[in-house]
């Protein structure tokens, strides 16, 4: 069993829809949770970062963490065609967000937002 | 700042050949890492370094070597390429207490 499981998708939604992306994890030692966005043929870029249970909002994006259920989500409101990308959840153990650079990633979800 | 740079962008190798993937960062980050990305597998950690002269293995280190002689550079060496090493390779760096910045990637095809 993988430590981090992510709904693989692909996901196709109309412009303006609310998108929900989800990951579950089995390692209770994970304390830091990230969402990366990756455009085609580009490197991942950090979208959201949180270390506590609850919600964190940044513009149209909301990251949700439920440590008791070992479940994290990313919500995108008013989705735009420019949101079309692969979204990767990532987690780490230890302080500073990435313990010695060791992130464990989900498989990624391909999202397409069509006009 | 150029951020994290990787060369080459694309490479084709024959089985058994060796090569070095280059990674450099100009942000004075202590930590650097190499990941590979395969379809349906996400990114998997190959090797990482917490500073010049210090490296350690990640999740999938077999067939790869690294060294860190300077803070700026973290090359990844394939000693004898195998088709299973066909992948996209990403280098990343970060400062202590911050999250990672990724390079643009190197696409490697091993025939």
Q: d(Cα A60, Cα A17) in Å, to the nearest integer?
A: 11
Q: In what order do the strands lie in the sheet with B76-78?
A: B4-7, B19-25, B76-78, B64-66
CA angle, corner B79, sides to B16 and B92, nearest 5? 125
CB-CB neighbours of A104 under 10 Å: 20
Q: d(Cα A84, Cα A89) in Å, to the nearest integer?
A: 16
Residue A50 makes CB contacts below 8 A (sequence gap 6+) with: A32, A33, A34, A56, A63, A65
Smallest Cα–Cα separation from A40: which of B99, B100, B37? B37
Residue A96 has pLDDT above 80, yes or no: no
Q: How many beta-carbon pairs under 8 angstroms link A with B?
A: 69
pLDDT value, residue A59: 95
pLDDT bucket at B99, cuts 50 / 70 / 90: confident
Q: d(Cα A62, Cα A56) in Å, to the nearest integer?
A: 6
Report residue B22 CA to chain centroid gap: 8
Among candidates A41, A42, A105 on the partner chain, residue whose Cβ is nearest the Cβ of B42: A105
- B58 to chain A: nearest residue by CA? A102
- Which of B1 and B84 is assigned the larger pLDDT? B84
pLDDT bucket at A97, cuts 50 / 70 / 90: very low
CA angle, corner A42, sides to B27 and B76, nearest 5? 60
Q: What is the DSSP letter of B98?
A: S
Contact (CB<8Å) B105/A108 = no
- Is residue A109 within 8 A of residue A23, CB to CB? The reply is no
The mean of the pLDDT values for chain A is 90
- B34 to chain A: nearest residue by CA? A101
Contact (CB<8Å) A44/B40 = no
Smallest Cα–Cα separation from A43: which of B25, B30, B61? B25
pLDDT tens by residue, B37-76: 998 788 999 999 988 999 999 889 999 999 999 999 999 9
Contact (CB<8Å) B42/A95 = no
Contact (CB<8Å) B45/A44 = no
Best probe of the A interface among B31, B32, B47, B100, by most A CBs < 10 A, is B100
Smallest Cα–Cα separation from A51: which of A97, A101, A110, A106? A97
pLDDT tens by residue, B28-37: 999 999 999 9
Smallest Cα–Cα separation from B43: which of B7, B87, B11? B87
Chain A hits for B103, CB-CB cut-off 8 Å, are 43
Chain B hits for A98, CB-CB cut-off 8 Å, are 31, 94, 99-100
């Amino acid at each position: 069993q993988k430590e981090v499981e992510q709904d693989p998708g692909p996901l196709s939604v109309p412009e303006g829809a609310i998108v929900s992306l989800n990951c579950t994890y089995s390692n209770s030692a994970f304390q830091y949770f990230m969402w990366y966005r990756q455009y085609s043929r580009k490197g991942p870029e950090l979208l959201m970062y949180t270390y506590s249970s609850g919600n964190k909002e940044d513009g149209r994006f909301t990251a949700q963490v439920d440590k008791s259920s070992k479940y994290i989500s990313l919500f995108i409101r008013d989705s735009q065609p420019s949101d079309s990308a692969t979204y990767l959840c990532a987690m780490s153990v230890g302080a500073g967000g990435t313990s010695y650079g060791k992130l464990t990633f989900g498989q990624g979800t391909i999202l397409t937002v069509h006009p | 700042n150029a951020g994290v740079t990787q060369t080459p962008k694309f490479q084709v190798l024959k089985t058994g050949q060796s090569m070095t993937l280059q990674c450099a960062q100009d942000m004075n980050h202590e930590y650097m890492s190499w990941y590979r990305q395969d379809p349906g597998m996400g990114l998997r950690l190959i090797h990482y370094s917490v500073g010049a002269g210090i490296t350690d293995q990640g999740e999938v280190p077999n067939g790869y070597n690294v060294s860190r002689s300077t803070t700026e550079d973290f090359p990844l060496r394939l000693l004898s390429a195998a088709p299973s090493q066909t992948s996209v390779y990403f280098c990343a760096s970060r400062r202590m207490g911050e999250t990672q910045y990724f390079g643009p990637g190197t696409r490697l095809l091993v025939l």
